[in-house]
Amino acid sequence: FIGNSTYLDDHGPPPQKVLPFPSQVVYNRVGKCGSRTVVLLLRILSEKHGFNLVTSDIHNKTRLTKNEQMELIKNISTAEQPYLFTRHVHFLNFSRFGGDQPVYINIIRDPVNRFLSNYFFRRFGDWRGEQNHMIRTPSMRQEERYLDINVCILENYPECSNPRLFYIIPYFCGQHPRCREPGEWALERAKLNVNENFLLVGILEELEDVLLLLERFLPHYFKDVLSIYKNPEHRKLGNLTVTVKKTVPSPEAIQILYQRMRYEYEFYYYVKEQFHLLKRKFGLKSHIRKPRPRPEFFIPSPLETEEPIDDEEEDDEKWLEDIYKR
């Protein structure tokens, strides 16, 4: 029984901290897909559950040079575990640089809705105060700020055409230059990474189910997340960050957007299908009306997604002091 005496003896070495699995999680959040909501929740959860929430001060640099990748991976890998690292950054391959590959999580959203949310948010901010957008985009000229969304799309302004519209896939494809080129190569590589490196990629339109599954898969990070999310105080805060002055483009303009974003939609539908399979596997019913036809054949009603707290600027602190391999 000598082996056990150290645990009984006050002067013996303390027992080693047993880390939960996985103890390294990366949330490389896609912009304007509700990640501000999730980061706010994570701040509460990290205090409640005692994990290390590692955030970044860099918000507009998603593509990195090889040296920047190595540096970031080194910094993340040396964080105290269990950690959850979050930043707007395209997928990083840790094993390529000799690091342990963490578990990835993410959330995406209907691509046209995501684009429109970003378009109007950059111009007019949200209900927290319209002066925010002046700080965010101070160099934007008045004629650009008030540019009609239909004119932007129909007259092929850079902001409303490729490659700017190829936005979601690179977050999953990675840092390879071809990941930024709209096409099959980037799409297939993004799908492969979803299958091999992401524990969960959820759909913003079904955020409560995303949170339920995160709680199921990563309880040491997300236990009680749904009850915190549904707390009236949290919901009230969310209402302040709804983007203002949104307008719906014409059916013709939306059809053009769909054509330009066809790879984004192929990816979105793939992720959605995987997400629904996962929900069924764990007994969650999808409250979905009959499935929608593919984008080429219908005019949707954009902006029907509830706007959760969203990202862009990072002032969260001011607002509030085999499962693992599918």
pLDDT at 213: 97
Which of 300, 239, 252 is CA-nearest to residue 109?
A: 300
Opening angle at CA 246, ends 240 and 248, nearest 5: 145
CA dihedral 224, 230, 232, 235 (to 10 degrees): 120
pLDDT at res. 138 = 74
Tell me, what's the pLDDT at 278? 96
Give the per-residue pLDDT at 137.
72
Q: Is the bond preceding residue 163 a cis peptide, omega within 30 degrees? A: yes
The dihedral through the CA atoms of 235, 171, 312, 85 has a sign that is positive
Report DSSP letters for 132-189, one per residue. Answer: HHHHHSTT--HHHHT--HHHHHHTT-GGGSTTTT--SHHHHH-SSGGGGS-SHHHHHH
- Give residue for tokens 């979803």: 194
Rounded Cα gap, residues 217 and 22, in angstroms: 10
Q: How high is the pLDDT of residue 110?
A: 97
Q: What is the DSSP string of 29-57?
A: PPTTSSHHHHHHHHHHHHHHH--EEEE-S
What separation in angstroms does the CA of 90 have from each of 50, 125, 167? 27, 24, 10
- Identify whether the C-beta of residue 115 lies closer than 8 Å to the C-beta of residue 254: no
User: Looking at residue 311, what is its pLDDT?
Assistant: 43
Indicate the burial class of 255 (C-beta count within 10 angstroms; 0-12, 13-18, 19 or more). Answer: middle
Contact between residue 167 and residue 115 where contact means Cβ atoms under 8 Å apart: yes
Kindly give the confidence (pLDDT) of every residue in the chain, 326 residues in length, as a single tens digit, with 9 standing for 90 and above. Answer: 444 444 445 555 555 667 888 999 999 999 999 988 999 999 999 999 999 999 998 888 999 999 999 999 999 999 999 999 999 999 999 999 999 999 999 999 999 999 999 998 888 875 544 445 455 677 888 888 999 999 999 999 999 998 889 999 999 999 999 999 999 999 999 999 999 999 999 999 999 999 999 999 999 999 999 999 998 877 666 555 555 567 889 999 999 999 999 999 999 999 999 999 999 999 987 655 445 555 443 444 444 444 444 444 433 333 333 323 33
The pTM assigned to this predicted structure is: 0.82
Tally Cβ neighbours within 10 Å of residue 189.
19
C-beta of residue 43 within 8 angstroms of C-beta of residue 50: no
- Catalytic residue, chosen from 88, 90, 234, 276, is 88
Domain locations along the chain: 22-282
Position 18 scores a pLDDT of: 79
Q: What is the pLDDT of residue 240?
A: 52
CA distance 294 to 299: 10
88 is catalytic: yes
CATH architecture for segment(s) 22-282:
3-Layer(aba) Sandwich (3.40)
Q: Which helix (H) or strand (E) holds 200?
A: strand 198-203
